[in-house]
Amino acid sequence: MNEISGGVTAAKGFLANGIHCGLKKQKPDFALIYSKTPCTAAAVFTTNLVKAAPVKLSQENIANGKIQAIIVNSGNANACNADGMEKALAMAELAAKKLDIPASDVLVASTGVIGQSLDISPMINGIDELAAGLSEDGSASACAAIMTTDTFAKEAAVEFEIGGKPVRIGGITKGSGMIKPNMATMLGFVTTDCAISAEMLKKANKAAADETFNMISVDGDTSTNDTFAILANGEACNVEITEENADYYAFVSGLIVVTRKLARMMARDGEGATKLLVCKAERTDTIENARLTAKGVICSNLFKAAMFGEDANWGRVLCAIGYSGAEVNPEKIDVSFESDKGKIEVCRGGFGVQFSEEKAAEVLSADEISILVSLNSGDESAEAYGCDLTYDYVKINGDYRS
């Protein structure tokens, strides 16, 4: 499996573009992703009961497993607005008219400030330029246009073979705050030229989300707009995947490579973050206990603050595991911290071991830290991705609307 460039347009037949239409003062804010041919499609959305209008519309449109285009704006979430559905429908119609496809085949997504009416006029004025600029090299511009507080673009793509045919999967994401997804992420769009049925694509989408995007937490908040969608146009001309066979598992493996890379980038770019935290829960009896353990550690604000301070406060790891919901034996838990500056054991069998605070501080001074947790009860494992909690997180969110 080879990592390649191209992001959301790496797969055959996909075009994208992103422009500045005026929703934001200067930065790109309007994006379009399009397949030349109809696609099977699957998506997962926010579990927040307060759902933005674009989420509600997209849930309706993708129910039949078919989508051909995705239209996105940043700068305004179009959430909690009386005219939200009207504006979401207008966005779908804009794309449909320019691309000559049914509006029901358009996925709509928005991101930005909640509770402010979305001005549709900049998008009406910009749709001609946006559609005219669609290209096979448009992933970067589309990625830039969906960003809000992100500090860098998040793209990934891979190429591998299924049934002797080269297949590509690529995607883009945005999100650095209000991220604790459950069956979703902030905004994530993945495309593939693999031929795969809507039913199998839905299963693959869930499998990838459960292992990667659902294992992220930046701040414990779940957005009103979370969307993770995948489109497959079949242009790789492989034998269509219609069952859970070897081809299906190869596809899932490729998809997870892409989504894991995107998930790690989202966690690394957490608002105000200085460190990527990766918790690896190992030797657990069930995958569920592994995921609960890893996610529990990553979600602990006290632990995240300790990592910012480069303080090896391992007690906060055990504390977080204890209330995570995982069924564990506290007297079997081992904990170590690891980075490119070394590795240090801090807890064995649920109790502290002597270690050098100076060495620990050196290990924790790196910009990527692994928290290795062994429950010593089985053979399952899972990873969760997060970041440290810094002064800048409060500053960024203290004046987000301004």
Query: Alpha-carbon Rg of the chain, whole angstroms?
Result: 21
**66-76 and 30-45 beta bridge pairing:** antiparallel
Q: Name the phi and psi angles at 102, rounded to 5.
A: -65, 145
**66-76 and 276-284 beta bridge pairing:** unpaired
CA distance 209 to 196: 18
CA distance 189 to 191: 7
CA distance 386 to 256: 18
Structure token digits, residue 203? 């299963």
Q: Name the phi and psi angles at 376, rounded to 5.
A: 50, 45
Name the residue with tokens 């100076």: 358
User: Is 185 a residue of the active site?
Assistant: yes
Q: Which of 148, 185, 227, 293 is catalytic?
A: 185
Choose among 366, 372, 220: nearest CA to 300.
Answer: 220
Report the Cα–Cα distance between both ends of the chain, in Å, rounded: 44
Q: Name the phi and psi angles at 249, rounded to 5.
A: -70, -30
Structure token digits, residue 350? 């649920």
Q: Give the helix ranges, DSSP H, for 29-114.
A: 53-61, 84-99
- Concatenating the DSSP letter of every residue in 227-265 gives EEEEEE--TT-PPPB-SSSHHHHHHHHHHHHHHHHHHHH
Any idea what DSSP says for residue 24?
A: S
CB 166 within 8 A of CB 203: no
- What helix, strand, coil percent values describe the chain, rounded to 5? 35, 30, 35
CA distance 307 to 303: 6
Residues with catalytic function: 185
